[in-house]
Chains A and B, each alone.
Chain A
Amino acid sequence: MIMKVLLVAESREGKLLGNINELLGFAKNLAVETAVFLVGKNDSLPKFSGRLYLAPVEKHLEYNPDGHKALLLEVVEKEHPDLIVFAHSSYGWDLAPRLAFALKVAQISEVVALADDGFVVPACNSKLRRQVKSLSPRTVLTLQAGAFPTVENGASLPEVIPVDTDTAPLVGFAGYEAAAQGGVDLSKASVVVSAGRGIGKPENIAMIAALAQALGGEYGASRPVVDAEWVEHNRQVGTTGQSVAPKLYVACGISGAIQHLAGMKKSEFIVAVNTDRDAPIGEIADVLVVADLKQFVPVMTEKLKAL
């Protein structure tokens, strides 16, 4: 029986990250007592009713997993939560296993749904789902981005409880490197046509660009295509690239890894072109065209031009 949850919020460059609202949404669905932990600043706090354990970011830094683990252990000692919940983010997946090991409890990663007496997580690049049961008295979770409805900022303010330790960091955090600037702003395009691994070779980017032009939009790409340097990083759609929500999104040869879906699933209408009927992109596509993009895309482009 879940009675009490501890949510772990994040801050980046002194600002609270919005993913706490998904964690609060998860807790609200469970209708359980909720406390939040944050290494952050007094002027950028989550809004909810409950206890907020706040550690000063000036001392504990935004990447100092050993220090943050020590702080969390103190909070767990005070709160005795049944679940300790992180976002499945670069902060969450780094810190959650450290806490789980210190507490000698299970961590269940990238939860997308609750199940009877357990949790549902993706498997095999999201092609499958796995239902998992924790065997430990309390459980650490990370939640997949976008899997649970967000709670919009309420008016309530938490009761702030300071927390502090003197744990020495094991790693040296030397600041941030900003994302590459300039280039195309895909978020302003009304149509985005993206290329995935299925395009096969860099020469085929041209046919994706041509289809995008015929539809009056821009072309983008998924991570493997950018990592292969076939398309510049500023056209990458997904968690580590741009988030888009155009009127029409055409995913060509993209299997649909969650990191990509997170960047485009709010699009108004989604067309997927894929040879694999079971590709996870099919879960969110309004239309799945089962075809080899190298044959289909040029024909589609010609017909659009002839309209």
Chain B
Amino acid sequence: MKILVCIKQVPDMESKFKIAGDGKWYDSADLVFRMNEYDEYAVEQAVRLKEQVGSADVTVLSIGGDRVKETMKKALAMGCDRGVHIADNQAWAKDPMVIAGIIAEYAGPESFSCIFTGMQSQDRGSAQTGVLLAEMLGLPCVTTIVDFSYSDGRFTVKRELEGGIKALVNVQGPAVFTCQLGLNTPRYPTLPNIMKAKKKELQSLPVEHLQKIALHQKTERLFFPEKKSGGLVLEGDAADLADRLITILKQKTAVLA
């Protein structure tokens, strides 16, 4: 069984963001980068599927500059067999249709039996790429999965809906799944596996041969939202903060009455 998992490298969301000079994206200079959180669940599920079926091969794919190879190495250390890095320093400016098109161009001839992606990225958050990839490849797709099982070519999954309800869905492979947080417990790579990952194949392909679709949308500007007007910001030591907050709660709410 050939399995593909698509991952994205994103900034750590706890970072202090700065807007880049052209005003259209974040300045990546001082940021710490990591694997998109949703994609960790996708990698874990891909590796678990391989462990279940035995004879399987997991390819991890990512698009971006050289920097994304660091994140791909984590996926290899988690148990993916090989990496396909699509080298593209302008990936940040591409919309989901273009990104999905690049992946579809690579994945089409490879005939994967099962493809996992995160349900969305933490930076753009469009929640489109996995679904678009499936549509381009003509495959069934189930989004936002929180439970996954496989037996005899058939996948049985649960989709997470609002209010804690789940939809039960089954699908005959090949198919695409977009993974929600909580689907599984992503493993930490062990030191021996980190060492082993260094020897795994990590191939770089230039994006130029794979990009066949034009942009459908463009970012005009990136900016900080306004804070709630009248919102108070309190700073100081803990005891002082507690006294000030208690005074405010007495004035503005009835809960300490």
Chain A residues in the interface with B (C-beta under 8 A): 12, 62-63, 65-66, 88-90, 93-94, 96-98, 100-102, 104-110, 115, 118, 121-136, 170-180, 190-191, 215-217, 223-224, 226-227, 233, 236, 239-241, 247-248, 255, 268-269, 271, 276-278, 280, 282-291, 295-296, 299-300, 303-304, 307
* CB-based contact B255/A216 at 8 Å: yes
Taking the closest CB of chain B, its distance from the CB of A254, in whole angstroms, is: 13
The stretch of B63-71, B105-113, B243-251 in contact with A is B243-251
Taking the closest CB of chain A, its distance from the CB of B227, in whole angstroms, is: 6
* CB-based contact A109/B125 at 8 Å: yes
Residue of B nearest to A119 (CB): B217
* CB-based contact A102/B135 at 8 Å: yes
Contacts of A135 in B (CB 8 A): 215-218
* CB-based contact B246/A304 at 8 Å: yes
* CB-based contact A125/B13 at 8 Å: yes
Chain B residues in the interface with A (C-beta under 8 A): 11, 13-14, 16-17, 19, 26, 95-97, 119-120, 122-128, 131-132, 135-136, 140-144, 158-171, 175, 181-182, 215-228, 230-235, 238-239, 241-243, 245-246, 248-249, 252-256
Given A101-B136, A227-B181, A289-B245, A123 and B124 touching (CB < 8 A)?
yes
* CB-based contact B234/A288 at 8 Å: yes
Main secondary structure of the interface of A (DSSP, over half): mixed
* CB-based contact B248/A287 at 8 Å: yes
* CB-based contact A94/B143 at 8 Å: yes
Taking the closest CB of chain A, its distance from the CB of B203, in whole angstroms, is: 28
* CB-based contact A247/B246 at 8 Å: no
* CB-based contact B97/A101 at 8 Å: yes
Contacts of B245 in A (CB 8 A): 271, 287, 289, 300
Residue of B nearest to A298 (CB): B238
Contacts of A122 in B (CB 8 A): 125
Taking the closest CB of chain A, its distance from the CB of B200, in whole angstroms, is: 29
* CB-based contact A268/B26 at 8 Å: no
Residue of B nearest to A142 (CB): B127
